[in-house]
Amino acid sequence: MDYPRRMAAGALLSAAAVLTSCGGAQTPSLATPSDAPGDAPSSTAAASSGPSAPNFTLPTLDGKKVRLSDHLGKKVILLDFWHTTCHPCIQELPELVKLYRKYNSRGFVVMGITTDGPETRADVTSVVRDNAIDFPILLDEETAVQDRYNPKGELPFTVLINRSGAIVLKRASYQAGDEKSMQQLVDAIEAALAEP
């Protein structure tokens, strides 16, 4: 095969790999997060339902700092890792907005963690505005937090953390209309909110 054909084939394989990691079947699971360096795990004891969520501090779009441990013991937390070039990520955001609005008054918070870099920050702002997102959007430009929770880099990727700081659900990908996976997420949120 000549050089131009090899380059074209390589580009197609790379594009397919990106699309596969951004979409695909949803796989709810309970996997252990990576022990990458960074903030130490929270001192809040985790329940027996899963591994402890690693603590982190990230900036918001408006420059404030958000620390996961500030919410532990008080809130059920959904971390949503996404990127502006990931179509399934953008499709899922309105569903997360609905969940946030439905359960926020009961102690539920969503933290949208974008892995976009500085060159696409304006795109993040547009997505937030276009989807009327009213939960915090955090910037993980170096993907350090994503690497701790999701070493494979799947997007979108959601992590549900109970008030004790235990990871109770991990979910990779999103497909519009997959009611079964969305119901599993809702059931996990409601179960976590029902815990003392």
Number of domains in the chain: 1
Across residues 14-22, what is the average pLDDT?
Answer: 43
The rounded distance, in Å, linking the Cα atoms of 137 and 96 is 12
Q: Residue 153 has what DSSP assignment?
A: -
Residue 55 and residue 25 in contact, taking contact as beta carbons nearer than 8 Å: no
Looking at residue 33, its pLDDT comes to 36
The domain that holds 48 is classified in CATH as 3.40.30.10
- 25-39, 119-133, 153-167: which has the minimum mean pLDDT? 25-39
Mean pLDDT of the chain: 81
pLDDT for 50 equals 81
pLDDT at position 17 over 80: no
Decide if 96 contacts 29 (C-beta within 8 A). no
- What range does the domain containing 157 cover? 3-194
Give ∠ CA 91-180-93 in degrees, rounded to 5.
20
pLDDT digits (tens, 9 = 90+) for 41-52: 332 333 346 899
Tell me: pLDDT of 57 over 60. Answer: yes
What's 38's DSSP letter? S
- pLDDT, one tens digit per residue, over 100-144 is 999 999 999 999 999 999 999 899 999 999 999 999 999 999 999
The predicted pLDDT at position 46 comes to: 35
pLDDT reading at 83 higher than 60: yes
CA 194 to CA 191: how far, in whole Å?
5
